Amino acid sequence: MKKNSYLVMINYLSLTLVLSYLVFHNIYAVFIGLTLALLSINSLYIINLKILIERKVKLLKINKDIREKDNKQLKAESNETNSLSLVELIEELGFIPSSNDEDESNVA
């Protein structure tokens, strides 16, 4: 019930602000009254828009979490498949690599 009384009060306030131009000749009060009137008319659309945005943000977070999990799985799978045998490594490099990984020389 209080929510309805607030909406009715906002409607009367917006009408009062628009009609106050006749007394005070203040255009800012008219703009504020028009804004309040538009907000009260479109309050249902604004609430629905807010709900829609919240749902979209939740979906984006869920999609982001799923992508992160997929990326972790792909990295784990790629680490397993990237280990080449010595024969394949020799074929690719063209020389026998040393067992020391710090040694950067290509001496065979």
CB 18 within 8 A of CB 10: no
Name the more confident of 39 and 98.
39
Structure tokens that stand for 25 in this block:
């000749």
Q: How confident is the model at residue 103 (pLDDT cuts 50, 70, 90)?
A: low
Q: What is the pLDDT of residue 102?
A: 58
Q: Is residue 108 predicted with pLDDT exceeding 60?
A: no
Report how far residue 59's alpha carbon sits from residue 51's, in angstroms, rounded to the nearest whole number: 12
pLDDT score for 79: 64
DSSP codes joined into one string, 41-99 = HTHHHHHHHHHHHHHHHHHHHHHHHHHHHHHHHHHHHHHHHS---HHHHHHHHSSPPPS
Most confident of 1-5, 29-33, 62-66: 29-33
